[in-house]
Structure 1
Amino acid sequence: MNPNATPAALRSQAGAQVSGSSFYAGMRVLPRPEREAMYAIYAFCRQVDDIADDQGGDRASRAADLAAWRADIDALYAGGPPGRAALVAEAVRRFDLDRADFHAVIDGMAMDVAGDIRWPDAATLDLYCDRVASAVGRLSVRVFGMERDVGDALAHHLGRALQLTNILRDLDEDATIGRVYLPREELTRAGIAPTTPAEVIADARVDIVARAVAAQAHGHYGQARAILANRPQGRLLAPRLMAAAYEKVLARMEAVGWAPPRTRVRVSKPALLLTVLRLSIFR
C-alpha cells in the first residue's frame, strides 16, 4: 500500500487488497459511509502494520515512523493538520471514534518493533491481542452503531478470537521473521524449550501448544456468539460473518493439526459466499 497516496486512493487500495476475503465480504454488506469508514480503518492498520513488519528498516527508524503516526493522530483530534491521519478523518468525524483506540493499535505495532515477540507470557500475549485486534474491534463497533458497553465486550472477545486464530495460522510465516507468539506457559507445559523460532515451531509437540491456544480462541468465539445472539443494536452481519469464517478456519486447522510440516489453511470463496447467504437469511 502506497503511504503517499491520497486518503481516497488508500481506501480504494484497501478494498482491492481484501477482495474475496471474509473481511471484504463482511464490509460489502454495509452501507457506503460505514463501508468507507471500515476501509479507512483497515488502511490505517495496514500502514502501521507494514511499518512494524518492514524487515528492511532498522528498529529506530520504524519506531520513529510509528511515533509520527501517533503525532498525526493527535493532530487530527486537536484540529490541526492531520498529515497521514487524514486517511481516517472522515471516519473519526462521522462515527466519533476514540483516539485511544488508534493509539492502542500503534502501541501494539510498537511491541513488534521494540523486539521481535517470542514466546510471550500469557499476560503480554493478551495485551498484544488487545492492542492489535480488540482495539480495531472497538473502532469497528462504533462504525457498526453498537452501544458502547456491548460493543466493547464484543470487540474484546472477537478481537482476541481472531488474533489467536491468525497466530495459529501464521506460525511458519512469523517464525521466518523471528517471531513466535505462542505463550511461554504452554510451551513449558508441553516440554518445549524456548531456543530459536525455527527450532520451536519444528518441534512436533507444538501441536499440543497450538491446541491449547485454539481452546482459548474457541472460548472467545463462544462469548462473541453469545453477545451477538442477544441481537444488540447495530449492523451485526459483518462481525457475525467474521466470526463464522475465522472459526471455520480454526476448526480446519484443528482437523489437520499443527505438527510439522504444516499447510496453510484458507476458506474458499464458495464457502464464504454460502456463509454470507446463510447469515443474511437467518440473522
Structure 2
Amino acid sequence: MTLEAAADANYGSTASGSSFYAAMRILPREQREAMFQIYSFCRQVDDIADSDGPREARLAALQQWRDDIDALYQGRAPARLRDYAATVKKFGLRREDFLAIIDGMEMDVPADIRAPDMATLDLYCDRVASAVGRLSVRVFGMPEEDGLLLAHHLGRALQLTNILRDIDEDAGLGRLYLPREALLHAGITSDDPVKVAAERALPKVCLPLADRAKRHFEQADEVMKRNSRRAVRAPRIMEKYYRAILELLLARGFAAPREPVRVGKLARIAIILRYAII
C-alpha cells in the first residue's frame, strides 16, 4: 500500500482519492500531469500487491515493473512508460525512488505483513510513502534538503495514520501493520490480525503510534513553514486532511468496536479554500 501517503497508502478509498485529487488539481499543468503519472504508477503496482492472484505471479509482475523502470532510465521506455521519459528528465525523478516503491509493495507479497518490528515498519513506510514523497517534492520544485526532509516526515505521518485508520480493513485482508514491540508492551502476544483487532489492550498499542505520527506531522509542518507557499500547497492540503483524520481517530478511540472515520465535506472544502485559493 502507498501516496496518498505522500498519494495515500490506500488507493481504493474514496476519501483518500478525494484528498489526492484536490491537492493535485491546484498544480500547474506540467506538475499536475507529472503527479498523475506518479499516481498511476503507484496504483498499478499497488493493485498487483493487493490482488488475490498467486503470489508467484504477483512477484513476477512486480519484477517486470522493475525491468521496465530500468529500461526507462536506459532510454528504452516500454509502451506503458513512454510518456514518463519527458517527466523524468524535466523534474529529475530518480530511478531509486521508483524501485523503492516496488520494493515496498513487494513486502506484502511473499507473505502478508503481520506485526513487523519497528525497524521493518519504518522501512515499509519509507518505501511505500516517503519514496513517493521524494518523487513528489521534485515535481513541486522544493529545495533538495528540505524536500527530502518533508518526504521523510510527511510520508511517515500519512502512512502511520493510514495504518491506524485501517486496522479492521487490514485485518480482513490478513494483515497487521502494528509494530511487534508495541503489541508485546501492551501484553498482546498474538499476531493474528483479527484477534489483535479485538484485543481490549489495543489502545495501548495505537496511542504511542498516533503520537509518533503527530511528531512527524509537526516536523513536516516546520519544513513547510520555511518554504515557498506555492511549493508546498499540495503537500499542505494532504497534511491538513490527514491530521484531521488522526484527530478524528483519537477522538473516537481505538477500542473495539470501531466506527470508520471520515473528514466531512465542509471540512475538506475549508482545507482546500484555505491552502489552495486564499
The reply to whether TM is greater than 0.5 is yes
Give the gaps of 5 or more residues in structure 2: 1-10
Greater helix share, 1 or 2? Answer: 1
1:212 aligns to 2:239 (yes or no): no
- In the aligned structure 2, how far is the partner of 1:108 from the partner of 1:19? 19
Q: Distance in 2 between matches of 1:20 and 1:161?
A: 17
The aligned residue for residue 104 of structure 1 is 100
SS where residue 254 of structure 1 aligns?
Answer: helix
Distance 1:26 1:147, change over 3 A: same
Q: How does 1:116-135 map to 2 (within 5 A)?
A: 116-135=112-131
- Kindly indicate whether the alpha-carbon contact (under 8 Å) linking 1:245 and 1:267 is maintained by their aligned counterparts in 2: yes
Give me the CA root mean square deviation: 1.7
Higher RCO, 1 vs 2 (CA within 8 Å, ≥6 residues apart): 2
Give % identity.
56
Q: Quote the Cα distance in structure 1 between the aligned partners of 2:256 and 2:15.
A: 28
For 2:79 and 2:105, how far apart are their aligned partners in 1? 19
Local SS of the residue matching 2:261: coil
Deviation at 1:96, TM superposition (A): 1.4
| Structure 1 residue 277, shift from structure 2 partner | 1.4
The 5-angstrom pairing of residues 82-231 of structure 1 reads: 82-86=78-82, 88-231=84-227
Match of 1:5 in 2: none
Per-residue deviation, 1:19 = 9.0
Normalised to the residue count of structure 1, the TM-score between the two structures is 0.90
1:266 is aligned to 262
- Residue-by-residue CA offset, 1:109-164 (whole Å, 9 max, x unaligned): 11111211100000000000000000000000000001111100000000000000
Structure 1 segment 61-72 matched on structure 2, within 5 A: 61-72=57-68
Corresponding residue of 2:33: 36
What SS is found at the alignment partner of 1:114? coil
CA distance in 1, matches of 2:203, 2:85: 44
SS of residue matched to 1:80: coil
- C-alpha separation between the residues in 2 aligned to 1:61 and 1:23? 30
Structure 2: distance between partners of 1:87 and 1:202? 47
The AA in structure 2 aligned to 1:127 is L
Q: What amino acid sits opposite 2:135 in the alignment?
A: L
Distance 1:39 1:81 in 2: 18
CA drift of 1:232 comes to 4.6
Report the 3-state secondary structure (helix = DSSP H, G, I; strand = E; otherwise coil) of the residue aligned with 1:112.
coil
Report SS of the residue matched to 1:27: helix
Matches within 5 A, 1:68-79: 68-79=64-75
Q: Is the 8 A contact 2:15 2:262 kept in 1?
A: no
Q: State the alpha-carbon separation in 1 of the partners of residues 37 and 91 from structure 2.
A: 12
What is the deviation of 1:82?
2.1
Change in 2 beyond 3 A, CA 1:19/1:259: closer
* C-alpha distance in structure 1 between counterparts of 2:29 and 2:15, whole Å: 16
Shift of 1:91: 2.2
**Which blocks of at least 5 consecutive residues in structure 1 are unaligned?**
1-13
Amino acid at match of 2:198: A
Q: What is the distance in 1 between the residues matched to 2:94 and 2:274?
A: 33
Q: How many residue pairs get matched?
A: 266
Do the aligned partners of residues 78 and 101 (structure 1) sit closer, same or farther apart at CA in structure 2, a change above 3 Å counting? same
Q: CA deviation at 1:78?
A: 0.1
Q: Is the 8 A contact 1:69 1:85 kept in 2?
A: no
Deviations 1:39-76 (A, max 9, x none): 11011100000000002x11110000000001000000
